[in-house]
Amino acid sequence: MIKMELRKDGRRFDEMRTIEARAGVVKNADGSALFRIGDTVAYAAVYGPRELYPKFLQDPTKGILRCRYNMMPFSGAGDRVKPGPSRRSTEISLVIEKALLPVLSLEEFPNAVVDVFIDLPQTDAGTRCAGICAASIALADAGIAMKDLVSAVSTGHVNGQVVVDLTYDEESAEGEVADIPVAFMPRTGKLTLLQMDGEIGKEQLMHSLELVRKACRQIYEIQKAALKEKYTFNGESDEE
């Protein structure tokens, strides 16, 4: 059963926060993007394909994807986030890598690495999903062959009400909550990221996934628009 009342911040149950996406925001990078969803902001920059060192990490059959997810020290609600990798950021970096890998064709780049760096200056939940959305635009911006983009947002329920794109307030609400970050390859409709914290029944889970698939279609359009915008305006301008 879906309750139709509005959420604390006035959104409908299936409504995402305001999204803004821009490609080409880091001039030094081969590809880059900014993805903002509500108060969560993610920068992503792609460097490569470039030679991978130390050499023993190289794979002669294909290129390697390496992601680093990083919250800036002042980006979190509450205390300062200690700089440097943590158990949390290391795991998130790993799942982001796995979320992006299926759309890339790295066979063309033996012994090389594609580095994806994600930095968040401001966060209000949904950071790994925002990071994936930004990284996906940045990879396309870098001109790396891709089978699809990857679009991601969280879903779940807050005290029985199934919702998409949870805020920190919703995630940490009293009572029964489930937070499910999901990434989709929008064209094929396949999942590349699926995690969950909390408690949920199977029926609600499947309903959540249906909602988030639709939300990801919307994100996909925004991602494409960001890329189109850069390459339309950049027609005659410099190629960094």
Candidate ranges 4-12, 27-35, 175-183, 216-224; the one touching other proteins (CB under 8 A): 27-35
Cβ contact 115:50 at 8 Å? yes
Residue 43 interacts with other proteins (CB under 8 A): yes or no: yes
Token output for 185? 């390859």
- The widest CA-to-CA distance across the chain, in whole angstroms, is 57
Tell me the residue ranges of DSSP E strands in 123-176: 151-158, 161-164
Q: Which of 21, 44, 65, 162 binds other proteins (CB under 8 A)?
A: 44
Does position 80 bind other proteins by CB under 8 A? yes
- Near other proteins by CB under 8 A, which window of 81-89, 101-109, 157-165, 170-178? 81-89
Instruction: Between 85 and 201, name the residue whose CB sits nearer to other proteins.
Output: 85
Interacting positions 84-143 with other proteins (CB under 8 A): 84-85, 115, 117-119, 121-124
Q: Which is nearer to other proteins, 115 or 148 (CB)?
A: 115
160 CB-contact burial (10 Å; exposed 0-12 / middle 13-18 / buried 19+): middle
User: Could you tell me which of 239, 224, 236 has the C-alpha nearest to residue 33?
Assistant: 224
Cα 5 from Cα 235, distance rounded (Å): 46
Choice between 28 and 232, CB closer to other proteins: 28
Distance of CA 167 to the CA centre of its chain: 15
CA angle 196–199–204, rounded 5-degree value: 85
Task: Rule CB under 8 A: choose which of 68, 213, 217, 224 binds other proteins.
Answer: 68
Instruction: Please identify which residue in 3, 4, 56, 74 interacts with other proteins, judged by CB under 8 A.
Output: 74
* Binding of other proteins by 65 (CB under 8 A): no
Question: Under the criterion CB under 8 A, does residue 75 sit at the interface with other proteins?
Answer: yes
Angle made by CA atoms 71, 240, 68, in degrees to the nearest 5:
20
Residues 154-213 that bind other proteins (CB under 8 A): none
Rounded distance, CA 137 to CA 122, Å?
Answer: 19
Indicate the SS3 state at residue 133. helix
Question: Minimum distance from CB of 26 to other proteins (Å)?
Answer: 5
Find the binder of other proteins among 2, 9, 57, 83 (CB under 8 A). 83
Interface residues with other proteins (CB under 8 A) are 25-29, 32, 39, 41, 43-45, 47, 50, 68, 70, 72-80, 83-85, 115, 117-119, 121-124
